Chain A
């Protein structure tokens, strides 16, 4: 899959920041920004598993038929398909100071929306985040659910938006409480 992560102007990130509540006051409350650029992408098309699952499944009468419009839309990105993205993470907008990598593992559900788990492998520790993503260029807001090292016990959210300064790069704004 060559579709890149959402690209929107940095102003959106600022607006999202202002709209979001401040991080709770605690010893670990902090916010910071990283920059990322995609290095690899893989789309996994499970059309055969979907078709098989519609005929052979353990739910019988309990199962609902998938609505006809649920899987309409752009090529690919049907319910159950996966998309994997690998990114390099930098501490500066010029993308010259590499501080780690990130992986987004996304499973599409309905109406072109996916649930994504993001793993950030940074120099001083790791963070995990999860949540829905449209993957259509709109900002992605994931909940940070944990971490290790410097980020042990991390909780909060990360907003990913496109950067206006570097085509194809992402601004990752972390708010931890």
Chain B
């Protein structure tokens, strides 16, 4: 009887733990390893004359006489960043990779989707990042395996050298 009661208590405790979900804080330092900028100037120009929205050309032309001023980023451009992740500020202990895909809209503001591959699982985060910003915050939208069901946010600040520090604040994970 005592054994059965103990088992019930244990099961109840485990259920409560699982229902509440664990919180995790992960700090990583990221060094960019690869980058690819995609300049969609020709697609923009084509989109001004051929589009399904019946836009007036002058409403969507970005620069004088249909030419873009400067190098953007302009709406429709995107950039891909690959990062190597480290667990220490000295960038000695590698612990994963990250990939950012950022799609620019207007006013040089990009919507970025990212994933952090931390070995035990993935953490996904998305949000807006102004062009050139080193301080930004992304929303954690999910995760897999050890980060199953993760929610929270990622705070990004510059670190030493060309590194970027990411603080992942997560709740609802299985760990």
Query: B152: CB under 8 A from chain A?
Result: no
Hey, which chain A residues are within 8 Å of B35, CB to CB? 59, 63-64, 66
- Contact across chains for B37 and A177 when beta carbons are under 8 A apart: no
Point out which of B36, B40, B124 has the most chain A C-beta atoms below 10 A from its C-beta. B36
Known contacts A25-B18, A132-B115; is-contact A144 B37 (Cβ 8 Å): no
A54 to B124, CA, bound (A): 28
Q: Which residue of A lies closest to B20 (CB)?
A: A24
Q: Which residue of A lies closest to B15 (CB)?
A: A25
- Contact across chains for B142 and A24 when beta carbons are under 8 A apart: no
- Contact across chains for B37 and A63 when beta carbons are under 8 A apart: yes
- Contact across chains for A24 and B18 when beta carbons are under 8 A apart: yes
Known contacts A25-B15, A130-B141, A156-B148; is-contact A52 B42 (Cβ 8 Å): yes
Number of A-B contacts (CB under 8 A): 144
Q: How large is the interface on A (under 10, 10 to 19, 20 to 34, 35 or more residues)?
A: 35 or more
- Contact across chains for A155 and B115 when beta carbons are under 8 A apart: no
A48 to B38, CA, bound (A): 9
Q: Which residue of B lies closest to A26 (CB)?
A: B19
Q: How large is the interface on B (under 10, 10 to 19, 20 to 34, 35 or more residues)?
A: 35 or more
Known contacts A25-B15, A58-B131, A115-B101; is-contact A79 B142 (Cβ 8 Å): no
- Contact across chains for A57 and B21 when beta carbons are under 8 A apart: no
- Contact across chains for A70 and B73 when beta carbons are under 8 A apart: no
Query: A102: CB under 8 A from chain B?
Result: no
Within 8 A of A (CB), among B123-175: 124, 131, 141-146, 148-151, 172, 174
Contact partner of A21 among B36, B70, B80, B146, CB < 8 A? B146
Hey, which chain A residues are within 8 Å of B71, CB to CB? 56-58
Known contacts A24-B21, A49-B42, A56-B71; is-contact A110 B34 (Cβ 8 Å): yes
- Contact across chains for A79 and B115 when beta carbons are under 8 A apart: no
Query: B41: CB under 8 A from chain A?
Result: yes
Contact partner of B70 among A46, A49, A58, CB < 8 A? A58
22 contacts between A and B (CB under 8 A): A46-B40, A52-B41, A52-B42, A53-B77, A56-B39, A59-B37, A63-B37, A107-B78, A107-B101, A109-B34, A110-B36, A110-B99, A129-B142, A131-B124, A141-B145, A143-B122, A143-B124, A143-B142, A156-B148, A175-B148, A177-B148, A177-B149
